[in-house]
Amino acid sequence: MLKFSSQNCLKNKHILLACIVCIGAFLRFWHLGTWSFWIDEVLTVLDAKEFSLSNSPINPIPYIAAKFSVLFGDKLSFLYDGSREWNSRLIFCIAGIISIPIVFSLGKTLYNNRVGLFASAFVALSNWHLFWSQNARSYILTFLFGALAAWFFYRSLENDSTLLTIGALFFSICLILSHLLAAAIVPALAAYAILQLLENRNRKRWINLIIFFLPFAIPILMLALPQVRAYISSGWGHNVWGRSPIYVILTIVQGVSIPIAVAAFFAVIVNWHNRSTRFLICLAGVPLGLLLIASQLQNVAGYYLFWTTPAYFILAAVICQQVWDAIDANKHTLFKAFLPVLLILVLLSQNYLYFRYENGGRPKWREAFDFVQLQMQPTDKVVLSEPRMGAFYLPEMEQVYVGELLDDAEGFEEKWKSTEMKRLWFIVDVASFNVFDADQTVRKWIRERGRMIETFPTFSRAKDRTIHVYLVK
């Protein structure tokens, strides 16, 4: 294990942790209701309204969270006049804040207090963690449950504790019920368990591992059911977005930030023989390998592995700790803090862009719909690539799916001219159109028959998320 030094510097670790959590909470509540929903959030919120135990999906936890978040947010309306977005994201925001001290505890358990503090600071300032904390989506829940499952499982093996094993099992199930592909935590923990069994195969350890892994045999048997296989196949579809293994890896590297990823990589190289480091390698590496294989068959994304990122932040904290201990404090005090300060400055710069220029990493759907609503006439229709966005923001206005134009342009135009409805509003979200309209056939049709009325530019995470509004009449 890494040696823990300079304990006197950490007597106030609880005060430092409280400050880190407060900064993280401030960032996550800042502009929580300002950003528009994006399509996945709208799908979650609309499905959550219809959620019941009788029609529960395979991953019910995020829908339960969204449903209660709206109810809880409405109850707090007398304190804060929250928007629909604020209310829907509230519980997810709280989950993101809670996960900060959980990462501290995991880092402390694996290494020491300073590693825990560094890691929790990186999480609190992480742009990716901030983004998912301000999202009514499952991923921040997977981060929380993934960190808790890892913490309990590691401690259960260290102490051969049945109670801790049951805790690890509970949070692993919560993780999988938040996102099905997070079931990759089972082989990740199994890989580490095998390494531990090679060192110590006592009877208590065997019993605890059977208690943990046996319940997961049932979901594997469920693959025999046609409806489960159909969900897995249709839920993500074929790889129409062109997500390659390189794309998946770059998504994770960009998400945690390049400096954090590089620091984590060097921590693995330097400390691969360390038991705690091997645990983090299994936690992050095994799911990554499985997802890279799956990317050849299914439409998967790097953010499906967001729940593994505590490993990256802790590993980056480990290398910071080692640099800190390697430098003589009496001669080079400033150099001791150089690496963690550098990482923190990079994370802060990303947050500055997130709030100042990137609109929270989201297209301006709400602004576009508000603009159309002010301009529209009773007979107008809106043509969308995402009709459920319109169902949420403009429920009183009839939406037309742009796929009708994509599949049969002549038939679409004939139908349009033969009706009393003469004006069509096209809301063109560039990111989606770049996928299904790569040759710009649809956009050319729109430009030839209409004109651009307004544009809502947004660029974030190296992607154009601009929305153009066209009027065809």
d(CA 387, CA 394): 10
Q: What is the mean pLDDT of residues 194-204?
A: 88
What is the per-residue pLDDT for 3?
45
> Are the CB atoms for 442 and 402 separated by under 8 Å?
yes
Q: What is the mean pLDDT of residues 378-405?
A: 87
Assign 239 a pLDDT band (cuts: 50, 70, 90). Answer: low
Assign 411 a pLDDT band (cuts: 50, 70, 90). Answer: confident
Q: Tell me, what amino acid is at 383? A: V
Question: 216 is written with which tokens?
Answer: 């997961």
Whether 2 shows a pLDDT value over 50: the answer reads no
What is the per-residue pLDDT for 76?
72
> Are the CB atoms for 216 and 273 separated by under 8 Å?
no
Cβ contacts of 9 within 8 Å, gap of 6 or more: 114
d(CA 15, CA 10): 10
Q: pLDDT: is 55 or 80 the higher one?
A: 55
Helix (H) / strand (E) element for 456: namely strand 450-456
Whether 179 shows a pLDDT value over 60: the answer reads yes
Whether 197 shows a pLDDT value over 80: the answer reads yes
Lowest mean pLDDT among 25-29, 156-160, 229-233, 371-375: 229-233
Assign 13 a pLDDT band (cuts: 50, 70, 90). Answer: confident
Q: What is the pLDDT of residues 98-126, one digit of tens each?
A: 999 999 999 999 999 999 999 999 999 99
Place of tokens 């579809």: 237
What is the per-residue pLDDT for 218?
76
Average pLDDT of the chain to the nearest whole number: 88
Place of tokens 């002010």: 374
Predicted TM-score of the model (pTM): 0.91
Cα distances (angstroms) measured from residue 172 to each of 115, 202, 280, 399: 24, 24, 16, 41
Whether 8 shows a pLDDT value over 60: the answer reads no
Q: What is the pLDDT of residues 314-348, one digit of tens each?
A: 999 999 999 888 876 655 666 778 899 999 999 99
Lowest mean pLDDT among 57-71, 206-220, 243-257, 402-416: 402-416
Secondary structure of residue 179 in the 3-state scheme: coil
The count of other CB atoms within 10 Å of the CB of residue 418 is 8
What is the per-residue pLDDT for 394?
87
- Cβ burial 318-332 (10 Å sphere, 16+ → b, else e): bbbbbbbeebeeeee
Assign 427 a pLDDT band (cuts: 50, 70, 90). Answer: very high
Pairing outcome for strands 467-472 and 424-429? antiparallel
Share of the chain above pLDDT 90, in %: 62
DSSP string, 213-270: HGGGHHHHHGGGSHHHHHHHHHHH-S-TT---HHHHHHHHHHHH-HHHHHHHHHHHHH
Cβ contacts of 171 within 8 Å, gap of 6 or more: 145, 148, 149, 152
What is the per-residue pLDDT for 1?
43
What is the per-residue pLDDT for 4?
44
What is the per-residue pLDDT for 20?
97
Place of tokens 């949420």: 392
d(CA 438, CA 241): 11
Q: What is the pLDDT of residues 118-151, one digit of tens each?
A: 999 999 999 999 999 999 999 999 999 999 999 9
